[in-house]
Amino acid sequence: MDYQKLMDSAKEVSKNAYIPYSKFAVGACVLTENGNIYTGCNFENASIGLTICAERNAIGSAIAEGERKIKAIAIYSPNSDNCFPCGACRQVIYEFQTSDGADVITEVNGELRVYKLNDLLPHGFNL
């Protein structure tokens, strides 16, 4: 799969972020084991704890369509190079990653960087 296509989709959807409080836009694009692509952006709420991250938004869209395995996820913020998922998102990605693990794609100065989720969350857990 062309990871640049995933990043381009993450960039595009980041424009739809609803961020009146933090002003920190994030877009995410998930590639599933079945080869399907799902996007999501972050959206905030006045009750800050109800804010939804872009990664979990994209994963939720995939789940709603019956997907269960993530091969890769691209994450982009116009506010930050090398935008990584938060701890909660890392655990959610961990639960849905393929048996080979999930690739986490970020961008630094216009260059893609690919990390294995297991390197970002070495002791994730499943029940």
Catalytic residues: 55
Cα dihedral 46, 47, 48, 53 sign: negative
Name the nearest CA neighbour of 55 among 126, 105, 110.
105
Query: Number of C-alpha atoms within 13 angstroms, CB side, residue 113?
Result: 13
- Which residue(s) pair with 75 in the sheet? 28
